[in-house]
Amino acid sequence: MMFSRMAVAAVVATALVGVSGCSIFGSGTANTSTASSADLGPEENGALGVNAYLWRASLDTLSFLPLSSADPYGGVIITDWYANPEKKDERMKATVYILDTRLRADGVSAAVFRETLTNGVWTPASVSPETNVALENAILSKARQLRLGSLE
């Protein structure tokens, strides 16, 4: 029923790595964050309009999908449709929004879309809300790894 058991397993597995240490992402609203300068990331040199860790983590996490559009100033990444070669009657795409310049758990939002091939026509199909959350968590986990790697 899901877009691809292998893709879901990969997203969930990535999301579970390091999630227990996600306290570095902060909490509360964007206006009341007490994020340190280390949470801001290297984008403060004016190269990006969003958090560089979240941006890089999003691109890395979605790297198996063909990229349709990426706007580093607006913080939007849109993939093109991808069909798993083992399941050609189903395809998926994703959109990720980076919402903050700080590395925060609420600084990323993801939406996964799925279609199934029915009588030669691609028809929208449901996606579990947990899939979107798993993708967001995978991105946050990767961003955390990138940030910790930059501190070494």
Query: pLDDT tens-digit profile of 49-84?
Result: 899 999 999 999 999 999 999 999 999 999 999 999
A 10 A CB-CB count for 104 gives: 23
SS3 44: helix
pLDDT of residue 6: 44
Residue 130 has pLDDT above 50, yes or no: yes
In the chain, the largest separation of any two C-alpha atoms, in whole Å, equals 54
Write out the two tokens for 56.
């890089």
SS3 37: helix
Please state the pTM of the whole predicted model.
0.70
SS3 79: strand
Residue 32 has pLDDT above 50, yes or no: no
DSSP 7: H
